[in-house]
């Protein structure tokens, strides 16, 4: 069985920054990534990021991934990224089981483990919601922006949060028609800059609307939508039919962290962080010493906070392994301050409340 | 179904990759996943569900939901959304759980 010092699961912004941070303190790191490409959500994001300068705001997500990967390369064989490698089990003796290339199965034992597995897109319940043609908005973004493939010709976007609105705009950029964006909420959730861009391009954003059913035999052919009242109940007689071959579901993300639950880390449902999350210290350590969490896996936020958390968690995980750099305190305070700034202001209210409930 | 022109992205398609889908010859490009190449070729139904045999396409494209599992070179339950296309691959629609060889 292979033994490693620090195992990082996931190579999104959180995992990459954690690896860089731990390696810069002197730790040896193995990063597991189930995709064939590192970078997590960043690899499909073509828009300029919001956030602050220290987290590369106003760069495109794809470019941020490249910046982080070139930093990783500076550490040579101190950081190894193993691709096509899915962590599928996490056991009491800190053994993680791995499925490689969809056929090899083996164990890795680590002295410290950092979970940076990100998030998954929630689905929505309505008749025929399983028809091919109905995809997570992120999946459509991957198809378009990573592979340059048209998801279809006419798209209905369900969800007017940032992701729904950004992906709609990117669909238009790729020359694909977006017939409407709808949201059950009475208000648009996305930042105004993104929503106004869509409105200017003539895409209707229908608030207080939901999907009643999808229609199609082998693939999606049409969608029936309707209005909802203030208790989110469908209002009879308000049905509208759209002939579409693609429906994107963008109704939020949930933290992906079953591995931590399997290991027996204390978990709690925290609505402000969008689902079950591990309880953790201010330094991202879970209820089991030596097991850390960072990024969306610890609560849905943004790439900017995922990076700052990654740096903090990587620093502290390495310190726990005996790699305490001379500027340890100073670096720790810098990352804590960055997180505090990112979560300040009214936008951060929800996150701050969630953090309080999930603190050990 | 491939995007030819894009205001900010350029797509450097790698070399052509030849594979089969249920015995039919197909072409994709190097660097594409199996699910992406099939989608570009107009194939949306990748599998049939376990019990009701309903059609399944990809859903998450990040290897998380198992909706895209197919039989690849005889191996069942391969997540085709995160598996790269290779020359000569034999890709088949998966019905139900698949059999272990
Ligand atoms: C459309 C869209 C627009 C966005 N815009 C912005 C923005 O403008 N600014 C901003 O700051 N943020 C933005 N975000 C959010 C940002 O992308 C995420 O918050 C960020 O990527 C989270 O980073 P992460 O490292 O925690 O997770 P992810 O980026 O999701 O990475 C997790 C990685 O872990 C891997 N993984 C998961 N499970 C396993 C396993 N069992 N074994 C091995 N590997 C595994 C995954 O394959 C993935 O590569 C946006 C997101 C989307 C979808
Ligand atoms: S589409 Fe979800 S695992 Fe492939």
Q: What is the CATH number of the domain that holds A211?
A: 3.50.50.60
In contact, B68 and B79? CB cutoff 8 Å: yes
ipTM: 0.95
Look over chain B and give the mean of its residue pLDDT values, rounded to a whole number: 93
How many domains does chain B divide into?
A: 1
Residues A197-216, mean pLDDT to the nearest whole number: 96
Closest to B34 measured CA to CA, from B13, B53, B19, B49: B19
Q: What is the pLDDT of residue B101?
A: 67
Residue B37 located in a structural domain: yes
Same structural domain, A116 and A258 = yes
Is residue A345 scored above 90 in pLDDT?
A: no
Cβ B62 under 6 angstroms from ligand 1: yes
Across the range A106-120, mean pLDDT stands at 98
Question: In this structure, what DSSP letter does residue A97 have?
Answer: E
Mean local confidence (pLDDT), A332-345: 95
Confidence (pLDDT) at A70: 97
Domain stops at, among A214, A233, A249: A249
Domain final residue, candidates A218, A249, A280: A249
Scored b (16 or more CB within 10 A) or e, A274-298 reads bbbbbbbeebbbbbbebbbbbbbbb
- Rounded to an integer, what distance in angstroms lies between the CA atom of residue A352 and that of residue A355? 5
CB A53 within 8 A of CB A306: no
Tell me the CA–centroid distance for residue B3 and ligand 1, in Å: 24
Q: Do A240 and A259 share a domain, yes or no?
A: no
Contact A242, A222 (CB under 8 A): yes
Q: What is the pLDDT of residue B97?
A: 85
B57 to chain A, any CB pair closer than 8 A? The answer is yes
pLDDT in tens, A35-75: 999 999 999 988 877 767 777 777 888 999 999 999 999 99
Name the average pLDDT for chain A: 95
pLDDT of residue A117: 98
Distance, in Å, from the CA atom of A301 to the CA atom of A187, rounded to the nearest integer, reads: 20
pLDDT of residue A336: 97
Q: Is the pLDDT of residue A181 over 80?
A: yes
Q: Looking at CA atoms only, how far is residue A196 from chain B in angstroms?
A: 19
For the segment A1-39, what is each residue's pLDDT rounded down to a tens digit?
999 999 999 999 999 999 999 999 999 999 999 999 999
* Predicted local confidence at residue A267, as pLDDT: 98
Chain A CB contacts of B45 below 8 Å: 132, 218-219
- The CATH code of the domain that includes B85 is 3.10.20.440
Across the interface, do B40 and A123 touch by the CB < 8 Å criterion? no
């Amino acid at each position: 069985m292979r033994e490693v010092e620090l195992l990082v699961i996931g190579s999104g912004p959180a995992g990459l920054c954690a690896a860089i941070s731990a390696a810069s303190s002197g730790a040896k790191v193995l990063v597991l990534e189930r995709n064939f490409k590192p970078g997590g959500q960043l690899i499909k994001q073509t828009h300029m990021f919001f956030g602050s300068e220290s987290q590369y705001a106003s760069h495109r997500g794809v470019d941020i991934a490249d910046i982080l990967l070139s930093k990783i390369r500076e550490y040579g064989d101190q950081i190894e990224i193993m691709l096509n490698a899915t962590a599928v089990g996490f056991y009491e003796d800190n053994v993680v089981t791995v499925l490689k290339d969809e056929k090899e199965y083996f164990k890795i034992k680590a002295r410290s483990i950092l979970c940076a597995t990100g998030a998954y897109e929630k689905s929505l319940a309505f008749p025929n919601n399983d028809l091919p043609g109905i995809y997570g908005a992120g999946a459509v973004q991957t198809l378009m922006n990573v592979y340059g493939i048209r998801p279809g010709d006419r798209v209905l976007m369900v969800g007017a949060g940032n992701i729904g609105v950004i992906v709609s705009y990117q669909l238009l950029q790729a020359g694909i028609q977006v017939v409407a964006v709808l949201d059950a909420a009475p208000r648009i959730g996305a930042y105004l800059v993104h929503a106004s861009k869509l409105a200017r391009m003539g895409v209707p954003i229908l608030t207080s609307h939901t999907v009643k059913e999808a229609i199609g035999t082998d693939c999606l052919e049409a969608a029936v939508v309707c209005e909802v009242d203030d208790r989110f109940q469908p209002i009879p007689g308000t049905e509208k039919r759209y002939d579409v071959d693609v429906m994107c579901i963008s109704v939020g993300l949930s933290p992906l962290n079953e591995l931590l639950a399997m290991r027996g880390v204390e978990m709690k449902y925290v609505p402000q962080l969008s689902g079950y999350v591990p309880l953790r210290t201010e330094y991202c350590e879970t209820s089991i010493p030596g097991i850390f969490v960072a990024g969306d896996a610890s609560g849905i936020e943004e790439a900017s906070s995922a990076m700052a958390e990654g740096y903090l968690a990587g620093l502290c995980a390495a310190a726990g392994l005996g790699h305490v750099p001379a500027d340890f305190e100073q670096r720790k305070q810098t990352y804590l301050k960055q997180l505090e700034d990112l979560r300040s202001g009214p936008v951060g209210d929800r996150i701050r409340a969630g953090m309080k409930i999930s603190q050990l | 179904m491939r995007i030819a022109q894009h205001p900010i992205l350029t797509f450097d398609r790698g070399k052509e990759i030849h594979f089969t889908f249920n015995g039919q010859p197909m072409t994709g490009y190097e660097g594409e996943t199996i699910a992406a190449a099939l989608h570009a070729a107009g194939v949306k139904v990748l599998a049939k569900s376990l019990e009701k045999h309903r059609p399944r396409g990809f859903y998450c494209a990040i290897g998380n939901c198992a909706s895209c599992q197919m039989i690849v070179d005889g191996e069942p339950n391969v997540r085709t959304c995160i598996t790269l296309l290779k020359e000569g691959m034999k890709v088949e629609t998966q019905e139900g759980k698949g059999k272990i060889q």
